[in-house]
């Protein structure tokens, strides 16, 4: 078992949408990049949905997200697990990120999109009870972009993830 820690959020002050994963996998942690596993479909999907160039540098891909007022983070700040699978996370080891502070400094966020079931379930269990009188947010689970979610085709994932497009308004 290994104790793992998530990354800092990627966001702009005027972010309107927050995409939440659960915890970066081993490939992402090693590369120090969100969704770095070569078979994770996140960046391919963002290419179709927001026009992210898959051949561009990681920092340029992040700029496209923030230009579209999309923030990216994980529900968990730290946890213990033995592999990259969400199913290997030890429930009693979970410490969530500080969403009260995050939402306080990002008041324009009105929608939260979960990258899979674990992100949604962890948010509802570990984060919602800590928010108190936080603003009401629309929360939607999207199909996981993980290679472990092989039962959903890339085309189906892209179609589902297009839901974020009407929400984001790119800066002019």
User: Collapsing DSSP states into helix, strand and coil, what is residue 79?
Assistant: strand
Of 32, 40, 115, 149, the catalytic one is 40
CB atoms within 10 A of CB 37: 20
* Residue 135 covered by a domain: yes
**Structural element, H or E, at residue 4:** strand 2-5
Mean pLDDT on 43-52: 95
- In what helix (H) or strand (E) does residue 155 lie, and over which residues does it extend? helix 154-161
- The pLDDT value given to residue 172: 44
**Which is higher by pLDDT, 78 or 116?**
116
Structural domain contains residue 35: yes
Q: Is residue 77 part of a domain?
A: yes
3 state SS of 141: strand
| Number of structural domains in the chain | 1
| Domain presence at residue 170 | no
What pLDDT, on the 0 to 100 scale, is given for residue 170?
53
User: Is the pLDDT at 103 greater than 80, yes or no?
Assistant: yes
CATH number at residue 107: 3.40.470.10
Specify the higher pLDDT residue, 131 or 65: 65
The question of whether 40 is a catalytic residue gets the answer yes
Going through 27-124 in order, the beta strands assigned E by DSSP cover 70-74, 76-81, 95-96, 111-115
Query: What are the residues facing 76 on neighbouring strands?
Result: 96
Residue 98 clears pLDDT 60, i.e. is over it: yes
The pLDDT of residue 136 is 75
Q: Decide: helix, strand or coil at residue 140.
A: strand
pLDDT at 119 over 50: yes
Domain extent, residue 31, equals 2-164
pTM, rounded to two decimals: 0.91
- On whether residue 171 sits in a domain, the answer given is no
Question: Within a domain: residue 169?
Answer: no
In a domain, 56, yes or no: yes
Are 23 and 89 within 8 A, CB to CB? yes
Q: Does 86 score more than 80 pLDDT?
A: no
In terms of pLDDT, which residue wins out, 104 or 1? 104
Please report the pLDDT score of residue 134 as a whole number: 59
Q: Please report whether residue 172 resides in a domain.
A: no
Secondary structure of residue 59 in the 3-state scheme: helix
């Amino acid at each position: 078992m290994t104790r793992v820690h998530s990354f800092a959020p990627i966001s702009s002050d005027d972010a309107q949408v927050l995409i939440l994963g659960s915890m970066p996998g081993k490939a992402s942690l090693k590369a120090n990049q969100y969704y770095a596993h070569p078979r994770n479909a996140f960046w391919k999907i963002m290419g179709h949905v927001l026009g992210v160039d898959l051949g561009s540098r990681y920092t340029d891909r992040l700029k496209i997200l923030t230009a579209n007022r999309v923030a990216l983070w994980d529900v968990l700040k730290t946890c213990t697990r033995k592999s990259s699978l969400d199913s290997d996370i030890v429930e009693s080891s979970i410490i969530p990120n500080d969403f009260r502070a995050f939402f306080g400094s990002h008041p324009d966020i009105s929608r939260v999109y979960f990258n899979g079931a674990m992100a949604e379930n962890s948010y509802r269990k570990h984060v919602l009870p800590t928010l108190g009188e936080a603003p009401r947010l629309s929360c939607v689970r999207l199909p996981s972009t993980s290679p472990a979610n092989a039962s959903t085709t890339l085309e189906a994932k892209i179609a589902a993830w297009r839901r974020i497009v009407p929400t984001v308004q790119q800066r002019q």
